[in-house]
Amino acid sequence: MTVSILAPEIILSLAGIVVLLLSTISSKIKNLLFFISTTAAGAALYFLPFPTRTAGHLEISHTTKFFSILTIIALIITLLGSIEYTSKINSPPGEYIAILLWATVGILLFLKARDFILLFVALELFSICLYILVGYNTDSPLSIEGALKYFLMGAFASAFLSLGIAFIYGETSFTRFQQISHALARNGNMNAELIYIATVLILSVLFFKLAAAPFHSWSPDTYQGGVTPFIAFLSTAPKAAVLLVLIKFLPVILSLPNVTEYYRRIIELVAILSIVIGNVLAFQQLDIKRMLAYSGIAHVGYMLIPLVTLDLKSYAAPVAVYSLAYIIMNSAAFILVDYIFQNDNKPHLIEELAGIGYKYPLAAFSLTVLLISLTGLPPTLGFIGKYFVFLYALANGLLHLAIIGIVFSLVGAGYYLRVIYFLYMKQDDHQLSQKGNPFSLLVSSICALFVIVLGIYPSLVTDWIVMNIR
């Protein structure tokens, strides 16, 4: 039973070991290593366990499976976008691929966790892998700086998480979510203040991993300095995983009496700050990676809006729809940035995109589609994601959040459309490197196509999500 439940994690773990061992034999089998890893990702996708609620410390549900699929999709996009990257920085690909696979294993376990011990171990597994990959380009001072900032702040986050878990265990004597929930609901002799402190500590760690404001300061430098194809993964898969854990954690803390409004205000404040700060600061950026980093903060704010309702039976569906859109469009956008710029040792200035629309028409068109989708304009999947979120907010009496989201989406349109303006309306005054990895262009173009198709026919996925995601 357990082996079949953990089949995707076992496949990816073994693939990481095989890739690492093969890389020591020869440095000329890069394509084989990427083929093995991509095939393993496809196999992991195929062997995702059938949803069931009886899995001990692991949760195997439709919701968990859906977010696991999103994680593996982000992995495949990143692998295909990274094929030529290790050659550019003269680094062996084996370590890069293996660590990326093991990071995915950590995220998949994190998604399935129903117990704080497993949750903490899984979080540390993928976090350590992410710290390493951010600083993988050792020739770039920006990469080292971004990795150091991410690591130091992540170390504090891990300490806060362990402290929060310890407080909850000390008061309840349990680490499993369901048992903690029952203990909090029935025991009136607990130290309520200590429980509140513990839950705020854990929430702050989850918000940090989401790069939600005001816990966002690490993300712009980390995204700018990090390995660009890998940032396609870092900016999407961990965020989707943390959102699901937040969805599962909220019923636990809401077992406390008379706390609903208290936690509602916390999530609402973080959502508003993320939307406002993310969009306003993204508008000021000259570097496209920093722009996407700040816009990612804003998108996290949009995804937090449904959680403000604390409606445990229905808030997961709009988050799932938005997560699907965000993973496809944001990861593909970063892959295209790497394809066009081809140099992580220099800033990725938006002005250097001048004339690219005529020089690389397919890449520019795909990037344009993705940016329109990130803006939330029809007929794209990004529009469907925002439609579900804002409609859900209106249906639940959150008119002010819907208005804030719509107004600042217009601000977002300003900086996304500015990139499109440079692609087509400005003369080519900068000489970028020759075109890069053809697989990057292929996977990004496919993602752009999906964004349009699912924007026109959203019921292909949204009907299933609304019926099954809880």
Please give the structure tokens belonging to residue 12: 């990816």
Is the peptide bond prior to 257 cis by the omega test (within 30 degrees of 0)?
no
Return the pLDDT at 429: 59
Backbone angles phi, psi at 327, to 5 degrees: -65, -45
Write out pLDDT tens, residues 225-274. 888 899 999 999 999 999 999 999 998 888 877 788 889 999 999 999 99
d(CA 378, CA 327): 18
Q: Residues 198-202: what's their mean pLDDT?
A: 94
Please give the structure tokens belonging to residue 232: 């396609």
Rounded (10°) angle between helices 438-456 and 62-81: 140
Return the pLDDT at 434: 54
How many structural domains is the chain composed of? Answer: 1
Number of helices and strands in the chain (H, E): 22, 0
Write out pLDDT tens, residues 105-157. 999 999 999 899 999 999 999 999 999 999 888 888 888 889 999 999 999 99
Q: What is the CA radius of gyration of the chain?
A: 21
b vs e for 258-287, b when ≥16 Cβ sit within 10 Å of the residue's Cβ? ebeeebeebbbebbbbbbbbbbebbbebeb
Please give the structure tokens belonging to residue 29: 């089998």
b vs e for 90-120, b when ≥16 Cβ sit within 10 Å of the residue's Cβ? ebebbbbbbbbbbbbbbbbbbbbbbbbebbb
Return the pLDDT at 430: 56
pLDDT at 89 over 80: no
Banded pLDDT at 3 (limits 50, 70, 90): confident
Write out pLDDT tens, residues 211-228. 998 999 899 999 998 888
pLDDT at 415 over 70: yes
Q: Confirm if 289 and 231 have CB atoms less than 8 A apart.
A: yes
Average pLDDT, the chain: 90
* Among 234, 188, 215, CA closest to 77: 234
d(CA 226, CA 147): 7
Please give the sequence-ordered ranges of beta strands (E in DSSP) within 152-241, or none if there are none: none
Return the pLDDT at 94: 87
The residue segments making up the domain with residue 430 are 2-468
Return the pLDDT at 435: 58
Return the pLDDT at 433: 54
Backbone angles phi, psi at 356, to 5 degrees: -65, -25
d(CA 207, CA 97): 28
* Stronger pLDDT, 371 or 31, i.e. the higher one: 371
Please give the structure tokens belonging to residue 313: 């039976």
Banded pLDDT at 178 (limits 50, 70, 90): confident
Return the pLDDT at 318: 94
Return the pLDDT at 105: 97
d(CA 267, CA 263): 6
Write out pLDDT tens, residues 304-361. 999 999 887 888 999 999 999 999 999 999 999 989 887 777 888 999 888 888 888 9
Beta bridge partners of 349: 287
Return the pLDDT at 345: 74
pLDDT at 290 over 70: yes
pLDDT at 26 over 90: no
* Among 440, 411, 148, CA closest to 295: 411
Please give the structure tokens belonging to residue 26: 């020869």
Query: Residue 84: which residues within 8 A CB-CB, separation 6 or more?
Result: 436, 437, 439, 440
d(CA 445, CA 59): 34
Name the 3-class secondary structure at 176.
Answer: strand
Q: How far is CA 255 from CA 114, 178, 204, in A?
A: 16, 10, 19
